[in-house]
Amino acid sequence: MSQFAARLKEAADRINVALDALLPREQGSESRLINAIRYAALDGGKRLRPFFTLEVGRMFDADEAALLRAAVAVECVHTYSLIHDDLPCMDDDDLRRGRPTLHRQYDEATALLAGDALLTFAFEVLADPASHSDPQMRCKLIAALARAAGAQGMVAGQAADMAGADTGSDLIGVTRMNRQKTGALINFSVDAGALIAIASEAEKTALSRYAHDIGLAFQMVDDLLDAEGVIRDTGKAVGKDKGRGKVNFVTVLGAEATRERIGMLAKQAKQHVAMFGPRASVLREAVDFVVERRY
């Protein structure tokens, strides 16, 4: 197992344990909702976003407890976004990570409410003094996550994705949509680790640029997998965007040009963290994982 693979697995294991401990347990009239929340949040996945928070903070020997709780918060927001993305009113998907989507396993109303609960739980986690002894730091993390997830971040990108070609079918429009839909939360994940670590402005800038490029590359690979992947590998439906007339990098650029841009972004991302030397070796390996993944 490579250093990156070992660290990604370690991060995923830590997030799963922390989520299991922090999420509410089945009780009384809320049992169905709580079971649905746990079904969605504890179903595995790459846990790449919390990995970035943990790994960036680790580069600076930042407080592990603070990093872990910030990582849990970002994973809760990510899971909520997937639940809502899968709903019939949005992408209407039946599979997520090789299992029935939440609204298929339970029902649409329960899925909607489970997503709402996970979003609000993320801010409850960050607001707790256990997340950081400095209330100003907790406020900074809350504000940054709210911006990344909200109407000028991830939700804006989701809205543009649903609007399809109406929002613009050129490269600028597609890039902006995906900077919001996918990139904003990846940027927060990296920025949170640097923020907790009290990194310098130059270090924060380098890491933010890394996150920008790896976020775009991640979405481009997703678009290629939707066009060329197989359900056995992806664990979710493929060919969705073309079938629904959605605009993405492959529909705008074509598959080969998309691959070329992925390579360019991967090279840039590694260059951004060159200043950290061996400390950023795992972040550089993460770039290779993102561009070579099949799920």
pLDDT score recorded for residue 43: 77
DSSP state of 99: E
Q: Hey, what CATH class is 3-292 in?
A: mainly alpha
- Enumerate the domain spans of the chain: 3-292
DSSP string across 205-222: HHHHHHHHHHHHHHHHHH
Q: Which residues of 24-60 are buried (b: 16+ CB within 10 A; e: fewer)?
A: eeeeeeeeebbbbbbbbbebebebbbbbbbbbbbbbb
For the range 206-209, what are the long-range contacts, defined as Cβ-Cβ under 8 Å and sequence gap of 24 or more? Answer: 206/272, 206/273, 206/275, 206/276, 207/56, 207/272, 207/273, 209/268, 209/272
pLDDT score recorded for residue 133: 96
Q: Give the pLDDT band of residue 2 (cuts 50, 70, 90).
A: confident
Comparing 1-10, 73-82, 257-266, the range with the smallest average pLDDT is: 1-10
Measured distance CA(161)–CA(207) in Å, rounded = 27
Q: Give me 239's structure tokens.
A: 């060919």
> For the residues 142-158, what does the mean pLDDT come to?
96
For the range 181-184, what are the long-range contacts, defined as Cβ-Cβ under 8 Å and sequence gap of 24 or more? Answer: 181/154, 181/156, 181/157, 181/219, 182/154, 182/157, 182/215, 182/216, 182/218, 182/219, 182/222, 183/211, 183/212, 183/215, 183/216, 183/219, 184/147, 184/148, 184/149, 184/153, 184/154, 184/157, 184/215
pTM over 0.85: yes
Q: For 50-66, what is each residue's pLDDT tens digit? A: 999 999 999 999 999 99
Q: Give me 63's structure tokens.
A: 């407080």
Could you tell me which of 118, 4, 129 has the C-alpha nearest to residue 54?
A: 4
pLDDT score recorded for residue 232: 52
Mean pLDDT rounded to a whole number for the chain: 92
Q: Is the pLDDT of residue 31 over 90?
A: yes
pLDDT score recorded for residue 64: 96
Q: Is the pLDDT of residue 48 over 70?
A: yes
Measured distance CA(289)–CA(11) in Å, rounded = 15
> For the residues 215-222, what does the mean pLDDT come to?
95
Q: For 232-252, what is each residue's pLDDT tens digit? A: 545 555 566 666 667 899 989
